[in-house]
Structure 1
Amino acid sequence: MTYTAANGLLKKDALALPSALTNFDQLFNDKTPALFMDYDGCLSPIVKDPEKAFMSDGMRKVVADLAEVCFTAVVSGRDRQNVKNLVQLDSLYFAGSHGFDISGPENLLTEPADAKEMLPALDQAQDILKEKLQSINGALVERKRYAIAVHYRNIEDEHVPYVKETVTEVLHKFPVLKEGLGKKVLELKPNLDWNKGKAVLWLLEKFNLNKATIMPVYIGDDITDEDAFAALQGKGIGILVGEHDEQTSATYRLESVDEVQIFLEKLLHYQQK
């Protein structure tokens, strides 16, 4: 099923998307890719413990090789330094906390949304959430510089409503924060007009990648990646990995992290021809 949203975006059921692998030969038309990728669920499998979401050696090698031949960035909801530590590649650009915190080679370090005034509210919200959820076995309150992730993947189903209600209460207490949704996670983020899509567009502009010879590609698996898919619709390629609970603005699909690696290997071969 396909429908056009009020803002003109085309949205589809994930399973209706064509395969990025099957259709690879028609994607680039001799253009140079500018590659943007989420981390969890794309470069690394989704796991119960976020700190054990490791890349395989094969994935790390192909990403490192791609960074030598085209612009390559990881755009994650994780804290920027956290995802950088997991990737272990200094040649990449990193946009952490959904794009609020960006770094890269040649000492790039910037916070383009200027969200510093939100830090006190995030600090207080973190303290309240930890206190209210400490009795819920399996609940995890993960602080990032510009976001708080409340993971409920590992808690009993009967406790999920309480976790969601608690997050809602805290959001009402701090109107400078807004809710973000993901797979088995609720997030509290600065209530600003900034997201992964805005970060991708900022990077394209910053590095003069808005050219007819460049094809932006975004690979993501989560609802938070929809902002990037939407930003690139009509301008680039959005690739959804797996599926989530909503219709998608992506244009192609990959089944799994394994298929992501195969796609990246094909992309590397394309660039090296």
Structure 2
Amino acid sequence: MIQKREAQDLPSALNQLHELKAQFQGKTPAVFLDYDGCLTPIVQRPEMAILSDEMRTALHELAAVTKVAVVSGRDRKNVEDLVKLDNLYFAGSHGFDITGPGGMASEPGGAKAALPALDKADGILQEKLQHVAGSLVERKRYAIAVHFRNVAEDQVQEVRKAVDEVLDAMPELKIGYGKKIYELKPNIDWHKGKAVMWLMQELGLNDDNYIPLYIGDDITDEDAFAELQGQGIGILVGEHDDQTAATYRLESVEEVRVFLQDLTDTIKQKSNG
């Protein structure tokens, strides 16, 4: 049974660092992170989410001492280009497209079969929403993100109606929710949590030496938090519109950076000890 709580009821990962580290039980944390709202602040348009030099340095230094993966709803190539680090693993499209050091390249989850439906849905949504000011239909390889952050409140329902009409006509697709986003995804039992466990298996980390630690801010990250309950640690950044299966909380992107730096120091001390 997945345990869920209100975000504000979670203990701070920074204030409870000693307690959190005790859960490592001598293991090294393998770190998985969302991009938007976790490594960069949420912005008005996706292309404005630029990684700071300080955060890039924190990620690079952490990846030098343990496995680090960015698990994003963005296209894998897009998030790779934003992060600009070759010692990380990247799971794009909620884990349907994964690459990493040593030539790793895989598309687990079986989403290719949904590509024709995504192509068709993209065209229909572009046409249906072209007159809705502020809407943005963003085609990704294995998803379509329909952004309504900049849509007037009285027109949001029109955006949802268009999405529902497409979904009703295409059983190959299902809806996902994010912060001011409706997302059409392949109707397959695959998500960020399954991608994390796939990576743990593929990288040989599912033994007694490693523990998965996932940091994310959005409803789509809840699949990973739920997957890790009882076998890893979930940390929510800020809050979203639902209860969370995470065990700790960080307030901001800046707190994420501080936490990652501390984690790096902790792992270094362990390896030197």
Q: In the alignment, which residue of structure 2 is the partner of 1:68?
A: 64
TM-score by length of 2: 0.96
Q: Report how many aligned residue pairs link the two structures.
A: 266
Q: Which residue among 6, 10, 24 is the counterpart of 1:13?
A: 6
Aligned-partner Cα distance in 1 for 2:111–2:27: 35
The residue type equivalent to 1:17 in the other structure is: L
Q: In the alignment, which residue of structure 2 is the partner of 1:218?
A: 214
Question: Per the alignment, in what secondary structure is the counterpart of residue 203 of structure 1?
Answer: helix
Aligned-partner Cα distance in 1 for 2:234–2:163: 30
Alignment of 1:232 with 2:228, yes or no, is: yes
Aligned-partner Cα distance in 2 for 1:245–1:219: 17
Q: Which residue among 248, 263, 267 is the counterpart of 2:259?
A: 263
Cα distance per residue 1:156-188 (max 9 Å; x no partner): 111100000100100111100000000000000
Gaps of 5+ in 1: 1-7
Alignment of 1:23 with 2:16, yes or no, is: yes
Matches within 5 A, 1:1-273: 8-27=1-20, 28-273=24-269
TM-score by length of 1: 0.96
Aligned-partner Cα distance in 2 for 1:46–1:115: 27
Q: In the alignment, which residue of structure 2 is the partner of 1:5?
A: none
Shift of 1:114: 1.6
Moved over 3 A (4+): none
Question: Per the alignment, in what secondary structure is the counterpart of residue 12 of structure 1?
Answer: coil
Gaps of 5+ in 2: none
Question: Per the alignment, in what secondary structure is the counterpart of residue 153 of structure 1?
Answer: coil
Q: CA RMSD in A?
A: 0.7
Aligned-partner Cα distance in 2 for 1:128–1:37: 33
Shift of 1:213: 2.3
Aligned-partner Cα distance in 2 for 1:176–1:206: 28
Aligned-partner Cα distance in 2 for 1:29–1:205: 20
Cα distance per residue 1:92-137 (max 9 Å; x no partner): 1000000111111111111111211110000000000001101111
Aligned-partner Cα distance in 2 for 1:137–1:258: 33
Question: Per the alignment, in what secondary structure is the counterpart of residue 26 of structure 1?
Answer: helix
